[in-house]
Structure 1
């Protein structure tokens, strides 16, 4: 007996890591509203290694930015699939170019990208766009919209030990420290001496500090590990899906305004996010997740002390005896 053919829905989602993680909040709502449909993600290769483990997608295609003949073939391929709907979570010139190829199609094109509005967080803005398209409410106050969710990495974790803390030499309770890399100006970063002091305080509290980040964060990672015996430096050593798996098991995460922080917060731990003083309200750009996110900002980040960071994480529940992963 053959399976009943399912409707196909395309989801357009690409951008930097922050935009991608935020977009997952919309993807989940699309999936929940169309459980019998087959969702195909049209994206770029940047985060395929992470998103290929998301069970909400039946397939992932990575040529969204193809141009010329390759771009026309991509649009033709999507049209041949006869999707009942295309959810555009990008809303830029490239996605509108793809939309142009559907001028004479019966496919429903849903403009679901977050529309920038004063005083509105992008997660709420995207939820409002989906609501106006018929998926859920179309009005949210700050903090009300469903948050991004990467709990689905638990499925991959059950079959791969590379997501386990022990794989990285981490045993017992641990916290993730996510400093910005050297692509950020030193004046906008928390001093590495503060990071080392925080790591030392965590080890005294019997919590292993694990420093995470890309290759650009290796210098601060080495500095912390050298001055805080017991700290683990895994900067540049873990893939995004592995970092999400670590986030699922960590007590809490502490970081500066980086894309990685958004991924780790979406994994579920309580978090402390550091922001330098500026005109933009940190609450309107902060990472979102299922647990408490404490925002600390000061004209100069050096004004924030490790003691204040520890106190904030206790307040957020980071020292509770729980992890999120099953």
Structure 2
């Protein structure tokens, strides 16, 4: 039995964009034992999915930690082929630690290099498919997400409802549309008979509080949803509005119609969420998101016929 390793460490949006490539690798090696090397936040998704026989957590220990480096070396050894979908400087260093096996990625000396000189300017969706094609994996199927729906446990909600995702990476505040604007949008949606549902992690509770202060009838699910539940909520939503953040990728891959708000801090041509077959989401971009009025977001939803 061949032993295959797939490397995808982070972040959530990139992990979700790799669902199609994960499935393609599984289909290309139907009888292999396939291991996913990822970080702790995404290990459960890997174990729930139908694509991997084993999931191993990379704790990304510092390079000076020789004991951890030795343990990582033992983890990486013994594979017949490695698909490095992270393609970072760190994951490329794993090539030597792994004993220089057959390798699909950008590591120097890789047997199946992604040699497209335009790779750094490609959207993750197209870039990974181009990488796999160069390694002989020609077909990447549309993403199947029944396993996510089966694992999600969404609460009963008044329908129709729309998801609001006011959070983003805490170290990148420029990616956040002001929560007060979300509050104004929530009130406008409620007036149209659409229940606003706010989702996020525990540290984003203050953002939800501002939204609920402006629209007390909104439903606050902050810190009450795991990733499969977010996916299930998105599958039942009329649409989702949010910043450039991981849950919007989950919403898009579940087939939910999405309006994603981008600032100067990220580039939608390279990182915007995609649907299960690569469908593009609706994007609004403003260099400084504080300059984006709620009316413009509402108008965009109406023009795109989200309701």
Q: What is the TM-score with the length of structure 1 in the denominator?
A: 0.77
Question: Which residue of the other structure, out of 257, 262, 271, is the alignment partner of 1:285?
Answer: 271
- 5 Å-filtered alignment, 1:137-148, equals none
Structure 1 counterpart of 2:109: none
- The 2-side partners of 1:50 and 1:264 are apart by 15
Native 8 Å contact 1:283 1:295 kept in 2? no
| Secondary structure, counterpart of 1:52 in structure 2 | helix
Structure 2 counterpart of 1:252: 239
Question: Which residue of the other structure, out of 61, 82, 89, is the alignment partner of 1:86?
Answer: 82
**2:248 is the alignment partner of 1:261:** yes
- 5 Å-filtered alignment, 1:294-309, equals 294-309=282-297
- 5 Å-filtered alignment, 1:1-40, equals 6-40=1-35
Distance 1:63 1:181, change over 3 A: closer
Question: Which residue of the other structure, out of 159, 166, 174, is the alignment partner of 1:179?
Answer: 166
Native 8 Å contact 1:165 1:171 kept in 2? no
Native 8 Å contact 2:83 2:104 kept in 1? yes
Distance 1:146 1:120, change over 3 A: farther
- 5 Å-filtered alignment, 1:87-166, equals 87-103=83-99, 107-111=101-105, 117=119, 119-136=121-138, 150-157=145-152, 163-166=153-156
Deviation of the 1:41 alpha carbon: 0.7
1:221-248 per-residue CA deviation (whole Å, 9 max, x = no partner) reads 0121222132111222222222122122
Distance 1:125 1:182, change over 3 A: closer
Native 8 Å contact 1:188 1:301 kept in 2? yes
User: Runs of 5+ in structure 1 lacking a partner?
Assistant: 1-5, 138-144, 158-162, 320-326
- The 2-side partners of 1:237 and 1:197 are apart by 23
Deviation of the 1:317 alpha carbon: 5.2
Native 8 Å contact 1:151 1:268 kept in 2? no
Equivalenced residues, count: 294
| Secondary structure, counterpart of 1:152 in structure 2 | helix
Distance 1:64 1:295, change over 3 A: same
- The 2-side partners of 1:36 and 1:311 are apart by 51
**2:193 is the alignment partner of 1:206:** yes
Native 8 Å contact 2:149 2:231 kept in 1? no
Native 8 Å contact 1:42 1:61 kept in 2? yes
Deviation of the 1:32 alpha carbon: 2.3
Native 8 Å contact 1:42 1:64 kept in 2? no
Q: What RMSD over aligned residues (CA atoms) do the two structures have, in Å?
A: 3.0
- 5 Å-filtered alignment, 1:188-199, equals 189-199=176-186
- The 1-side partners of 2:27 and 2:298 are apart by 38
Deviation of the 1:13 alpha carbon: 1.2
- The 2-side partners of 1:283 and 1:120 are apart by 8
Native 8 Å contact 2:165 2:243 kept in 1? yes
Deviation of the 1:130 alpha carbon: 0.9
- The 1-side partners of 2:69 and 2:162 are apart by 44
Distance 1:32 1:155, change over 3 A: farther
Deviation of the 1:74 alpha carbon: 4.1
